[in-house]
Structure 1
């Protein structure tokens, strides 16, 4: 059982990363992309957030303070939430197909996808990632997890706002209608 506690989260995240890498090879050519500076403004905070989730508590004296008990239930709830978030982002990635990119882009023959997870939220990959980060932070149970969730939310919200602007420019009224019908990140709320 000790091996499960040690390796379950790294295995889930590694499986997700390998899928992401494999699928990144089959995308449409890019017509427009964000600047390197813009990309770094969301990549760096996300990298710091992930670092906070994986660094040992001993390296984070103030942020290593536990706020949830170290118990099996926190681990398993966190694992379930992480898995649900990762699977939701994978499903969203599959629906995007060749329109996907790790950066804010407009692809050649870009399509507006509004079915599947995109009928629930406009940015389901970000929703899934935030859920997975939240689950991992919950299992960790310390202030570093809270900081990681806050940083990830800020970074993805920033990126989401750029994408929103570009999608309105690309799809016009069609995107405005879609955005009035479907929440951006959290169903029925946000």
Structure 2
């Protein structure tokens, strides 16, 4: 595996900014790390960032890219920044919060599970995984394992991870922001599937016919 220096930089920088905004929203390091559940979330975030840095994922436009879909990256970035700060802030202020400290720990479990599901496909796809909607050199379909059940496990992981973050802060606003993540993700999925159909034709159609997009047997 040869990590992309650009992707490593973006991953690490993004993680620092994300956690920094959460700490700021909560009112400082001492207050943030006084909560065991939030401490676990912070540690898990750092661990996942380091692990992701060792993948072969990239930001290459490859041999063929759907450039019209790049707006999704900007949309998800804006939602991500809001999701980093607002759940922590609303938790501290007691605004639209979910009752019970157990909600935080449910959030921790969802956050870690979703993060693992988000990262695992990056390692499975290797150089074929790009932050852009693109066909890479030597691109082939992966149709086994998790991909034998759902076609976009990484996006499902992103949603579960985001929901877990919201629950860790007991934040109704965080749940709403997770819901707002769905439209740009669906647009991204539509773009990816159109590109894969154009590249692989009947092979991709057959694969698509026997699998679900995100939730087995549902969607």
Q: Secondary structure at the match of 1:76?
A: helix
TM-score normalised by the chain length of structure 2: 0.75
Post-superposition Cα deviations, 1:38-63, rounded to whole Å, max 9, x if no partner, equal 31x212222222223221568669x9
Flag structure 2 segments of 5+ consecutive residues without an equivalent: 1-32
Q: Which has the bigger relative contact order, CA under 8 A and spacing at least 6?
A: 1
Of residues 66, 78, 102, the one that matches 1:34 is: 66
- Mapped contact 1:168–1:175 kept (Cα < 8 A): yes
Residue equivalent to 2:105: 76
1:165-184 Cα offsets, whole Å, 9 max, x none, are 00111111111111111001
TM-score, with structure 1 as normaliser: 0.85
- Counterpart for residue 53 of structure 2: 21
Which of residues 206, 215, 218 in structure 2 aligns to 1:177? 206
The equivalent position to 2:143 in structure 1, one of 114, 131, 138, is 114
Runs (4+) off by over 3 Å: 24-29, 56-61
Shift of 1:137: 1.4
2:61–2:134 Cα contact (<8 Å) kept: no
Aligned length: 186
Q: CA RMSD in A?
A: 2.7
- In structure 2, the CA distance between the partners of 1:25 and 1:68, relative to structure 1 (3 Å rule), is closer
SS in 1 for 2:63: strand
Q: Deviations over 1:98-127 (max 9, x none)?
A: 211111010111010011211121011101
Q: Which range moved further: 179-188 or 6-15?
A: 6-15
Q: Unaligned stretches of 5+ in structure 1?
A: none
Task: State how far apart, in whole Å, the 2-side matches of 1:57 and 1:129 are.
Answer: 17
- 2:23 matched to which residue of 1? none
Going from structure 1 to structure 2, the CA distance change for 1:64 and 1:182 (only over 3 Å counts) comes to farther
